[in-house]
Structure 1
Amino acid sequence: MIVELISTGSELLLGDTVNTNVSWLAQELNKLGYTIAHQSVVGDNPKRMAEVFQLASTRADIVISTGGLGPTQGDITRNVLADSIGRPIVFNQEAMDEVKKFFDRVKRTVPDASRREAELPEGANVLHNPVGVAPGVVVEDGDTTYILLPGPPGEMKGMFHDSVVPYLMNRFGSQGVVTSYRYGVYDIREIDLENTLMDLIKNQSNPTIALLIKKGYIEVRITAKADTLEAAHEVLNPWDAIIRERLGARVGRDLTVSMEETLGHVLLEEQSTISTAESCTSGLVGKLLTNVSGSSEYYMGGVISYSNDIKHRVLGVPQDMLDTYGAVS
């Protein structure tokens, strides 16, 4: 199934808000086996939004948009979709019941403006919002299914897991899985790396291979699609063996595992412990280390030594060194 993701909101085009929704949705949908073929970002302009919806309907089976479902006059996604597919906006009692449940839960009266959140394209189905007010919307029109989700990431993620995934499974069934192996490759130029893996690059189909320039290393990513995760690994494993044989020690850490998790694994294997002494990072390193489950086995604690006095009295930095070179040296 081909999916197009549409992000609405002028704040995304102005750079005021970083669009994390689209990357998160792409990752989650890939896990479910859906192919993300297009991504679009459009401001709060009815004409341009309608053009994006209409174009998406010509090239995607499923169109998922985020943003513009709130109660204000600027929340126009429901109305624009209705106009795009030639349907009227009608009052939806199920959506109103969802809105009312939220306000009952927080012991507040439903504002008059929230009635807009229950005005949906004719024939729409309602998606439960487990976090916020605005219900999600599903509209099936011809060969295209439109799914409208809220813009706030917390609401969008909650609704996706709670409502969208069950809907997709019920409506379209399993799409298999898409998964990747990701390697950090060091001490080799991109052109040389490409030459080393040229036969894989030229013959890619399933799996596919990509080389991505990062700061200090090159990411090699191989991606496979299969009916199950185990079957996808069977597709990837022969390429994994080739990459490791040809690149040898140039293959660094597994990029599907964070740096702090990688460090934690090494510390556990070596039965070593670690502590931190931080100044300008204000405890950030300690926080990253303790984000890992089981880190109490190796992380002993830390000191945030922001002042020179603490650096000298608690950490033992010589006073003459601080006087001569300063705290940041």
Structure 2
Amino acid sequence: MQVIAEIFSQGEEIVSGQTVDTNAAWLSQKLVQMGFVVKRHSAVGDNLTDLKKLLQDVSLRADFCICTGGLGPTIDDLTAQAVAEAFTLPLQLDTVALEQISRYFSCRKRDMVDINRKQAFFPQGSQRIDNEWGTAPGFSLQYNQCWFVFVPGVPYEMKNMFTATIARQLSQRFVLQPEQLITLRSVGIGESDLQQKLNTLILPEGVQLSFRAAIDDVQTKLIFPRDAEQPLVRATVNQVAESIGDYIFAIEGLDDSQGGLVEVISQLMRQQQLTLSVQETASQGLIAAKCIAQPWLISSVFNLSLQQQTEKLAIADYLNAAVSIAENRQQQDGTQLVLVQLYEGNTEQFQQKDQSIKLFTVLLTPSGVIHKQRSIAGSNTRKQNQAAIYALDLLRRYLQNKTR
């Protein structure tokens, strides 16, 4: 039996586009993982009539609704009032909530102004949800067939309240049977090529296949029915993985979480007790930024003059130049691995969106040199990010091949 959920965001800044509603996306992911079927995302501005109408409608069609925003102390924060009027439940002072709000200010050596008392008034019969991360407590109540939860719109506060309290309450109130989502994360291959590789694969009945192109990878998603047996799940995932090949760097949802490309590399670098130096050109420091605080990254240097010195090289000489640079860096830093990238072309070509550049990436290892050559195109930012990702993926492939 499906358990229907809705997400409701309140605030003029949401409907006007001044604020991107990241809360709804985050909550959707959490609720779907728990086993809810999320039917609607709704957003309403600071209008009491609209808020009341939506609350009444939701109470008749959803089993659960979580509302973010509108719990502040100012005149445009209308959530509690809207709930009270929509469900004919008078507002009542919660003295514990008032004490919590007062303590929040006193701990910060600030005076609580009188308008903050508004945040301690909840509709009659509702249950307070403590907020240890801000001034506005949340509250919950049942009306008609729907259990409502109201939390602040500040993402930091909302996420902590959901994780600390609301998720547990949901598990207690509802019988949930989550579908199983498996995500195969890959680099160096596009959605259309992934689809082509899987065209002849016959998936078991009820298994859903989809793709998502993210900034740093492309994700192949498999959703298995709630009652799917694990041997079937594993066999299907293995078939898909074999069809895609070594473009895959991680599989999420099957065993332990593996994380993004850098997380996978970091685990392998630590296991193999290796260190790395990087010489960046096209990525312009982005490799270092993606690997921030990683103890195995000993140095990462972006040197524009180095790229300018190599601009007049013949294509056949780029590889030799990159190997020579890698050997010099290894002597300076004493690392086991050195990653070097150069690109054919000049800065002006790099900056032109309609111009592609040829990227040369070299990885110097204890057992020799591994290199990759590919063309990248698009805006400056896209070229920079692709250069960083392709360099890191070359490192990832070397590390994973060592463990096989």
Q: Distance in 2 between matches of 1:77 and 1:250?
A: 51
Deviations 1:48-90 (A, max 9, x none): 2223222322221110011110000011111112222222222
d(CA) in 1 for partners of 2:63, 2:222: 26
AA of the residue aligned to 2:208: T
* Worse overlay, 155-164 or 129-138: 155-164
C-alpha contact (below 8 Å) 2:241/2:248 kept by paired residues: no
CA-based RMSD of the aligned residues comes to 3.5
TM-score by length of 1: 0.78
1:238 corresponds in structure 2 to: 235
Instruction: Point out where structure 2 has 5 or more consecutive residues left out of the alignment.
Output: 253-258, 313-344, 351-404
SS in 1 for 2:291: helix
Cα deviation per residue 1:163-193 (whole Å; 9 max; x = unaligned)? 2123324444x63544421124636557645
The aligned residue for residue 181 of structure 2 is 180
Alignment partner, residue 249 of structure 1: 245
**Against the structure 1 CA distance between its residues 214 and 170, is the aligned structure 2 distance closer, same or farther, given a 3 Å change threshold?**
closer
Structure 1 residue 224: Cα displacement = 3.6
After superposition, the C-alpha distances for 1:87-120 in whole angstroms (9 at most, x for unaligned) are 2222222322221221232233321010110121
2:98 aligned residue: 96
CA contact under 8 A between 1:5 and 1:63: conserved in structure 2? Answer: yes
Corresponding residue SS for 1:129: coil
Please state if 1:56 is matched with 2:52: no
Q: 2:126 aligns with which of 124, 127, 150?
A: 124
| Contact 1:176–1:225, Cα closer than 8 Å, also in 2 | no
Of the two structures, which has the highest relative contact order with CA contacts closer than 8 Å and spacing of 6 or more?
1
In the TM superposition, residue 232 of structure 1 has moved relative to its aligned partner by 7.4
**Mapping of 1:147-162 within 5 angstroms?**
147-162=149-164
- Answering whether residue 300 of structure 2 is matched by residue 302 of structure 1, we say yes
Query: Residues 248 and 303 of structure 1: is their aligned pair in 2 closer, same or farther, counting only changes over 3 Å?
Result: closer
- Cα deviation 1:37-58 (Å, max 9, x = unaligned): 3222222222222232223222
Which runs of 5 or more structure 1 residues have no equivalent in the other structure? 306-310
Residue in structure 2 matched with residue 275 of structure 1 by the alignment: 277
State how 1:134-213 maps to structure 2 within 5 Å: 134-172=136-174, 175-184=176-185, 186=189, 188-189=192-193, 192=196, 195-197=199-201, 199-200=202-203, 203-204=205-206, 207-212=207-212
Q: CA, structure 1 residues 148+282, in 2 after alignment: closer, same or farther (shift >3 Å)?
A: farther
**Preserved contact between residue 46 and residue 78 of structure 2 (Cα < 8 Å):** yes
Matches within 5 A, 1:42-81: 42-81=44-83
Identify if the C-alpha distance between structure 1 residues 287 and 179 changes in structure 2 by more than 3 Å, giving closer, same or farther. farther
Q: Secondary structure at the match of 2:245?
A: helix
On the 8 A contact 1:223/1:236 being kept in 2, the answer is no
Is residue 44–residue 51 contact of structure 2 (8 Å, CA) maintained in 1? yes
Q: What secondary structure sits across from 1:6 in the alignment?
A: strand
State the number of aligned residues.
307
Aligned identity (percent) is 25
Q: Which residue type is aligned with residue 299 of structure 1?
A: L
**Higher CA-based Rg:** 2
Quote the Cα distance in structure 1 between the aligned partners of 2:241 and 2:280.
37
Contact kept? 1:34, 1:175, Cα under 8 Å: yes
SS at match of 2:183: strand
Match of 2:381 in 1: none
Counterpart-to-counterpart distance in 2, 1:317 and 1:191: 37
Which residue identity is paired with 1:56?
V
Query: Which range moved further: 43-52 or 129-138?
Result: 43-52
Q: Counterpart amino acid of 1:220?
A: T
Are 2:60 and 2:145, in contact at CA under 8 Å, matched by a contact in 1? no
Aligned residue for 1:145, secondary structure, equals: strand
Cα pair 2:131 2:161 within 8 Å, conserved: yes
TM-score, normalized by length of structure 2? 0.65
**CA 1:2 to 1:278, structure 2 compared with 1: closer, same or farther past 3 Å?**
same
1:261 paired residue number: 263
Of 108, 111, 114, the match for 1:112: 114
Question: 1:278-298, CA deviations, whole angstroms, 9 ceiling, x for partnerless residues?
Answer: 58977543232135xxx31x3
In 2 relative to 1, CA 278–218 (structure 1 residues): closer, same or farther, beyond 3 Å? closer
> Comparing 137-146 with 21-30, which one deviates more in the overlay?
21-30
Contact 2:127 2:139 in 1 (8 A): yes
